[in-house]
Structure 1
């Protein structure tokens, strides 16, 4: 539609008084047509609403009948049970929550609920959090006990995987009428214990003293963590626990500050996996670690916290080298003096099949000028991964470590925790960087991870990646380094072709602080009462 005011439309033009009647006359016919269109739209919308309502009724009818044809309704019950089992978490035990299987499966429909409740495998694993009696009402404790009984009662005769986290410290006000703990509720099911992890207080764990080795014939994995000991409770006397002497325990984890590890009544010669972490009063020394190894000839995986407060009295020449041909994974957390000393653990053992090694700890006695150095690495012909702590080394010790790395190493990780430690620098990375004029270490290296690198430059990292990706055969797959500084050089343009080919590079930098400039800066506001 043409308008005599077309040039004025969409502007801030203010019409003259004589133009106002002219504009009103121009709008007479359009306003009439607009009302007509609105009436037609209303009629059509009414028809659409009626059709939509009719369609909704037909769709409800169709959906109800199509639901009868749903393929899952025709599945045999045993197949549906397998689907239910596949819904369970595989990396941990099931939790008591309606947001996850198996509880969630019982909330879909009555038939699924009946099937879930009658499927013992769904209830054969559970993680239980025991309420603290000092902070939660007794009713919640009793409710958790009843739920635990009902849960395990549905498991039929299946072997049980149970993890319990309880900080249920005794409440002095309720000692006369103390209700049963969740841990005590588990004892009647001990004959089906298979994989058990218990984190509880010393008073709670004492309830396990009634269990004998004959009560737990199916137990293969046992993890115990003692988290609290009161002045009234001297602790748990584990050396008298028949539970620890169960005939089929092959994996054992023990975290406690109340027992000497060598006094534990384990069937040591049957262990395949062992993890020990004790307080300084009962700490494992290098000498004890050698004794533990000698008791476990079949050991494949081991984690020990070793605390050598004083230099070992055993001289290297006097110690017999013990061979452990089955040990494949070893993690040592070293405190006290450096673990690799004359007569220490690594000068007393031979580990020809070791594939995964983790060495963590701190500098030890700096006054003695001793830093851990591990020449024994050259005696590990099958080592594939090494994770270590920068606090075990000074520059000289790190150089020794890099030269001792075996040619079979595929994963190498250095953990740096302190900003003042400058262990991993350009010279250190140079040892792993291929060059025609010098040999380089770890020719089959696939993964390099350095956390919190303070003195390593972006340029040295770029040279490392380019050199590794241009040698043949190319083995490098992943590089992850965290810098506590801002980016100095953008690596991506030079390595983009390698990234497109599958190389993963995660170089993280500290973000620069954002400038803050407010127009109110410098003003003094007067606040009057």
Structure 2
């Protein structure tokens, strides 16, 4: 409750009270001063109570092993830890001395690390000195960090940077980081390297025996500035680790089958690249890779079929991949889905996810032969497709023959290209009034359409209403990214579905706004005359 004053109208003004009012004003301040003193005393008592309560707080009484488990649970779960005082494990050691002692002695807290090489700034010598100091500092921290990990298996990721051109004599590149990691090679379990190709030579001395527990190896090669020949690392002993089950390489100049991997024990494989920056994997070569990997569960490939070698060798027998659950293929040249292409020579009885990306070559648009998806896998649940990989007839055939097991469906168009997903295409995915006519994907849970401009808002509304009328409704999420302005706000009509838990994410480009600023056209600084 606020204090009232007979001088309220005078407060905040230049009013000068006479002597008689001065005494009255002084008497009004007696009670507030007493209250202020009581508040100070209360604050002091509260500090006394809080300090004593802290002594008997439950966290102080936790057993050491339980506190260590809580610390480990504070680590990020989707990535490696970073060298930052704003998150665990470094943050845990900044709370109090006892927590610092516990954190430094808990080896599992230091078994995951992400190392970033400070970027070089060309033509700025003063900043290069600072960068070198920071680089040496991070290498020292990385060494101390990993030494705290005891005998725990290590997960390490390195984000290198391209050296400046020309490279200064004192420049310390990613080599210094990798050389720091080599003494810990016997405990490498998951390694991710984003480095320039020559830098990988730092690991050429490592043999398969040096990495006995290595399971996951991910390598992303930087494009080199010069045209000088680069070392081929595909035969490095590192790749011959006895327990490598997951291998990923982006933009390698090595021939895919030239990697000295133990192919028969791989469960995950990713060989991707930017077009023309790596040897091409044809459909024939893809089948050869699959034949070496009988345990493969997930795979990502860039496949290029050209006119000179558009199909798999006709003598090759059909290969069954009984363990493959997820397959993503980026297609260049002729589509791998045509009869005689990749899917004509492999059987995928357990495949759950299929992703096809790329575009249809112009010379194939008239003679495209569609290979039916239901024959690829009877258990397909997730399908992601670039619409530009097909012509309109093939895409319609795809929508009308999708497997009844499909739960997740995503189509991606391309801005500036004709729209292949139109209102009629959505009609294939909704129930028909005619009982004789079936519809595709009866248990569809998620529908996503990226770069949509051929679908009207009215057709989308019909699609959502029809799918939600199925009893029980299976649709959980609808996401469309339009390249046109909104035509009809459908949210009022679907509000009951939203209230029931349906997620709808519709993105339209922002409206154009005419600039009427009186500052338009003015320079930041007046010109010098």
TM-score by length of 2: 0.87
298, 301, 321: which one aligns with 1:324: 321
Confirm or deny: 8 A CA contact 1:339 1:372 kept in the other structure.
Answer: no
29, 35, 41: which one aligns with 1:48: 35
Residue 398 of structure 1: CA displacement? Answer: 0.9
Q: Tell me, what secondary structure is at the counterpart of 2:330?
A: strand
- Within 2, Cα distance between the matches of 1:432 and 1:449? 13
- Within 1, Cα distance between the matches of 2:171 and 2:490? 69
Residue 425 of structure 2 corresponds to residue 431 of structure 1: no
Q: Tell me, what secondary structure is at the counterpart of 2:478?
A: strand
The residue aligned with 2:143 is: 149
Q: Tell me, what secondary structure is at the counterpart of 2:144?
A: helix
The residue aligned with 2:5 is: none
Residue 490 of structure 1: CA displacement? Answer: 2.3
Confirm or deny: 8 A CA contact 1:238 1:259 kept in the other structure.
Answer: yes
Residue 214 of structure 2 corresponds to residue 200 of structure 1: no
Cα deviation 1:420-475 (Å, max 9, x = unaligned):
42111101111111112232111111110001210111111111111111122321
The residue aligned with 2:85 is: 98
- Within 2, Cα distance between the matches of 1:408 and 1:178? 51
Residue 102 of structure 2 corresponds to residue 115 of structure 1: yes
Confirm or deny: 8 A CA contact 1:200 1:228 kept in the other structure.
Answer: no
411, 414, 422: which one aligns with 2:411: 414
Q: How does 1:364-443 map to 2 (within 5 A)?
A: 364-366=361-363, 369=366, 373-437=370-434, 438-443=437-442
- Within 1, Cα distance between the matches of 2:519 and 2:357? 51
Residue 214 of structure 2 corresponds to residue 255 of structure 1: no
Confirm or deny: 8 A CA contact 2:216 2:246 kept in the other structure.
Answer: yes
Count of equivalent residues: 498
The residue aligned with 1:17 is: none
The residue aligned with 1:86 is: 73
Inter-CA distance 207–230: structure 2 relative to 1 (3 Å threshold): farther
The residue aligned with 1:291 is: 288
> Unpaired runs of 5+ in structure 1?
1-29, 522-526
- Within 2, Cα distance between the matches of 1:271 and 1:464? 42
Residue 244 of structure 2 corresponds to residue 222 of structure 1: no
Deviates more, 1:425-434 or 1:250-259: 250-259
Q: Tell me, what secondary structure is at the counterpart of 1:353?
A: coil
Cα deviation 1:165-190 (Å, max 9, x = unaligned):
10152764327999961111101100
Q: Tell me, what secondary structure is at the counterpart of 2:78?
A: coil
Residue 159 of structure 2 corresponds to residue 165 of structure 1: yes
- Within 2, Cα distance between the matches of 1:37 and 1:258? 91
Residue 59 of structure 2 corresponds to residue 64 of structure 1: no
Deviates more, 1:267-276 or 1:465-474: 465-474
Confirm or deny: 8 A CA contact 2:373 2:402 kept in the other structure.
Answer: no
The residue aligned with 1:466 is: 465
Residue 338 of structure 1: CA displacement? Answer: 1.7
TM-score by length of 1: 0.87
Structure index of larger Rg: 1
Deviates more, 1:334-343 or 1:388-397: 334-343
- Within 2, Cα distance between the matches of 1:318 and 1:203? 40
Confirm or deny: 8 A CA contact 2:400 2:439 kept in the other structure.
Answer: no
The residue aligned with 1:246 is: 241
Cα deviation 1:146-199 (Å, max 9, x = unaligned):
111101010000000000010152764327999961111101100000000011
Residue 211 of structure 2 corresponds to residue 212 of structure 1: no
- Within 1, Cα distance between the matches of 2:171 and 2:496? 73
Deviates more, 1:179-188 or 1:71-80: 179-188
Inter-CA distance 475–127: structure 2 relative to 1 (3 Å threshold): same
Q: Tell me, what secondary structure is at the counterpart of 2:29?
A: helix
